[in-house]
Copies of this chain bind each other. A is one copy, B any other.
């Protein structure tokens, strides 16, 4: 799957991910209204609204992008019905040949991580039958529990040709509270990055490992250091746009081959129509606004990489 991700980045010329984090507040009123007319103001109605919202954005952007990153919390908050919308979104993205990064940030002790890995990346056995319940291509994983919490995910990736992005340095303001603390003269995130490089060495695609890392766009100096610590790991970079990062800040997350990073924007793309820059599209044409935001983001990053 890492090979497919790289191929698609090269084909689209856009090392970007659209974050499908459909908060109900982002969904235009006319979509909410239609969904509630059909299902009532229920969890099923909310799930239908976010699904219709996603579908329109996917239809308007899939030819420009290699990958999407649905944030499962935005679905899980609507309960079982929300998880149905998550599953439907993943399946639809596969129909459109998009690489799907499930932003689930799971991580537990060994046998429990194995269950998460089966449900999100692999298959579960029920009697004589086998099912792939959520079937994402990559998921994000929290490293706090160490190697035996991560290994079951890596094993399923090896068997299914899928991949991981392990949290190393997150994009939020208080990420430094624990992640930046010095251990033997180096911040914790660097120790985690060294582990990611070690775990990844055993999980190589053609040119990059399928065990990648999450490093927030909001800490460009850290990105520069971590690029060198994990030369063969793809870096998933959240925090572009709404959280503050810009293309020129992100060039050092990439290797000399122009690869090695993929930059996520969620709100900045899916709620583009709410921004001044795209207000001309109007709420009715929210998906066209998203398409334009993708074009602009890809241009920003391509320009920054060309000027590097």
Contact = CB atoms under 8 A, between A and B. Distances in A.
A80 B84 contact: yes
A148 B174 contact: yes
Interface in A164-200: 167, 170-179, 181-184, 188, 191-192, 195
Interface stretch (A7-15, A110-118, A227-235, A246-254): A110-118
Contacts of A178: 143-144, 146, 188, 191-192
B76 A126 contact: no
Interface in A148-173: 148-149, 167, 170-173
Contacts of A170: 109, 144-145, 149
Interface string A69-82: 00101101111101
* Chain multiplicity (copies): 2
Interface in A34-67: 36, 41-43, 45-46
B76 A119 contact: yes
Contacts of A41: 126-129
Q: What are the nearest 5 A-B pairs in CB distance?
A: A79-B133, A146-B177, A41-B127, A146-B174, A77-B119
Interface of A: 21, 23-24, 32, 36, 41-43, 45-46, 71, 73-74, 76-80, 82-84, 87, 105-113, 115-116, 118-120, 124-129, 131, 133-134, 142-149, 167, 170-179, 181-184, 188, 191-192, 195
Given A80-B87, A148-B172, A181-B184, 7 more contacts: A23-B115, A32-B127, A80-B84, A83-B83, A143-B178, A147-B174, A149-B174
